Amino acid sequence: MERFVLAAALATVSLASYIRPAVLPEAVVTSPLPIASSAPAAAWDWRDYIVLTPITNQYVPRWCGSCWATAVVESLSDRVSVLQLAAGKRQGALRLLSRQVLLDCGWAQMKVGSCNGGSWELAHAFIHKHGITDESCAPYTASDGSCLNQHTFCTLCRSDGTCVPVDNAPRVYVSEFGYVNGTENIMREIQQRGPIPCSMWSHTDAFHCYQGGILRDDNHYNVTTHVVSLVGWGSEAGVDYWVAKHSGGTFWGEDGYFRIEKGKNTLSIESHCGWAVPTLPQRATPTKDMPCEN
């Protein structure tokens, strides 16, 4: 059976929207990692504590293999809300960071990825270096655009048909990032700091046609093809599961989410996950004037 699964994986790897780099970016760790001595809760779901970013659909208005970008911006956006909660602040305006910035500028500057697939690891490194604006600056078009010296991070279009760059729009940066694997380590990271992106094998009918319940699969997969955001975990009828956020619209799965068996590396979802610590939104030059609407 495993020989057949590996053959199927090799035959379909070209369809992958996640492309693992030959060399992973070196982790940037400047603060203590989640406390290993702290036992994770029996159940946890960030939807019970903050308003998570809305479910998106990477395949509209056209097919685009941008799961890697979607999982990164959604988990980072949600972690901004977690930071506000931890600081005792009211959750501010919900910002969905821009997938389109990664599609337009990520490939041009760091070969991060495109609609033909990409790397969440390189996306973290890109945002660490350049920052990222939100979707109000660069809306999602499900296409690979052009990066004009970072001007496409934020654009304002006017009534005369011209568009101008908004160079001083607020950006979120990644102050540090790294990797996490193993059930309990993943649980600690999620509970203590927020949702995280994880790679998984997605080329199964059970996943593509998922309508609800707990996904279970005892096969072993040597590669991963898709990236999702893990937001929590729980248990039902004696089966432990992860709560994960897909990027296929609210009509898919359980209102855009799915549950998958936990502790067995089902569909390789526990084999390669990552974390990043975002900053709160900040302007590069607070005193610089913004362009006026027209």
Candidates 189, 201, 260, 206; CA nearest to 227 is 201
- C-alpha dist (Å) from residue 275 to 122, 175, 283: 12, 11, 24
**131 C-beta neighbours (distance < 10 Å), count:** 22
Q: pLDDT digits over 192-228, tens only?
A: 999 999 999 999 999 999 999 999 999 999 999 999 9
Domains identified in the chain and CATH numbers: 2-28+38-278 (3.90.70.10)
Q: Residue 167: CA atoms inside 13 Å, Cβ hemisphere, count?
A: 6
CB 98 within 8 A of CB 73: yes
Selection from 257, 246, 223 nearest residue 67 by Cα: 246
DSSP category for residue 19: -
**pLDDT, tens digit, 9 for 90 and up, residues 75-113:** 999 999 999 888 887 766 688 999 999 999 887 766 899
In this prediction, residues 4-24 reach a mean pLDDT of: 60
Two tokens, residue 135: 């979707």
pTM confidence score:
0.91
Which of 7-11, 48-52, 68-72, 163-167 has maximum average pLDDT?
A: 68-72
The residue written with tokens 């490194």 in the block is: 125
